[in-house]
Amino acid sequence: MKTILLCLNKLDIGGVETAVLNQTIELIRRKYRVVILADDGIYRQEFEKQGAIFIKLKYVYQNSCNKTILQKIMKIIDDYKVEQVHIHQFDCINPSFMACLYKKVPYVAYLHCGIMNVYDFFEKCIPCYRVIFSLYFHNASKIVAIRESAKKENINKYKVDSNKYIILKNSIDFNKFKVNDNKISTKIEKFLVISRLAKEKEISLINAITLFKKYYKINPQARLTIVGDGAIKEKIVKEIADIKDVTTMLGARKDIAKIMATQDIVVSLDRCILEAITMKKLAIISGYDGLKLLVTKKNIEKASNENFGGSNLENKTSDSLVNQLLKLDKKEIKNIVENNYKYAYENLNIRKNIFVFDNVKNDNIQLDHENVLDNFIMLLDMFNDYVKYADKVYNDCKHAEKGYQKQIEQQNIKIAELQRIYDKLKKFHLDKIYYKLKKIKSFFVFNKK
């Protein structure tokens, strides 16, 4: 049996984790042995229930290569006879891909994130990624992006051959994500918002809550359910203070399909929209910057091109969306959800949208012997020492610059004060001269007479 190693940061509930769970289900269906290398989390049981082997590994955020973790990953590759590795999150890159280089095992680099400039964030927080990212992407046997914009950003920054990329839209296992008692809604009263309560999701959450409030003013029978947990929970609690009597917060949950089955409409982002479509529910993309649209047959393909995040869609007002919802009758609701389901089943089905290497030979990695990687790790450590020194010099210079700037500002204040005094004296003396000239003129005029 061929073995595939999947690397994730932690098995918490999230869009990437759910996508990888669907990938795992399909790989096992295809008779692969799947090993999950990640930190423990609430989703662990879901992976193990599908037959995956879980190995706990806590990836360490540090500005160097952790050789202990590197050796552990290499041992896992040997012990399980891993033939290919799929690295799903940037947190896992160091030192997962180094183990692949050592063992000459092909690996797939995934671009799940829809947030622009994420590379700059990593490089700023962990400077060694300024070196690692380039080596990582250039040595990957394949780079899988879930949206075209992610592919373009990566190519522009790292200049990797475009033939190495493949676009695989976020997909779902239609056989697993369903419940028997799910029914198509005949009215719109129960709103569901699903999201990590994280800073990067704050705008989308506020958008969704604002939409519900507008709808609730017109239809007092409406109710709101929020699923998710995270750092901005208190902000969200304050945001719903005026509708707390009609709002339920369920926290982080694994039984999303079961919860969705009881709702009429989902207002969310990314994978949650795909799940709503799979459950034949109305879905509105809440957007990272502004509310987007109600997903329908006319716009579902365009919306799915950016993983239902809305970056390629125009903003809509909450009033226009509320008016659109109020006009929908039972027949129209059924047509929308059935057409959405049909498109997703044909185009976003995990059975069609999954990548594995048919040929496990890795000709992409250009390392002649292990000493090359040993030297790279040594150079990486030297680079990190350089970065620390450079950062210190930079900070010292910035501190000195602030000191000089303060002196300049003080001198400018003194110069301005001197200029003011000078202008005042100049005006005073000119006035005196003018007065004297006036007197002399008067004198001559008088004598002339």
- Residues 19-55: pLDDT tens digits? 999 999 999 999 999 999 999 998 899 999 999 999 9
| H or E element that contains 278 | helix 270-278
Domain topology for 3-171+353-364: Rossmann fold (3.40.50)
Rounded Cα–Cα distance for residues 303 and 313 (Å): 7
Q: What is the pLDDT of residue 158?
A: 93
Q: Which of 144, 192, 142, 137 has its CA nearest to residue 160?
A: 137
Tokens of 247: 């709002």
199-222 pLDDT per residue, tens? 989 999 999 999 999 999 999 999
Averaged pLDDT, 54-69: 85
Choose among 192, 272, 264: nearest CA to 224.
Answer: 192
- Does residue 391 surpass a pLDDT of 90? no
Residue 189 pLDDT more than 60?
yes
Torsion angle (degrees, nearest 10) of CA 135, 138, 140, 144: 120
What number does CATH give the domain 190-347?
3.40.50.2000
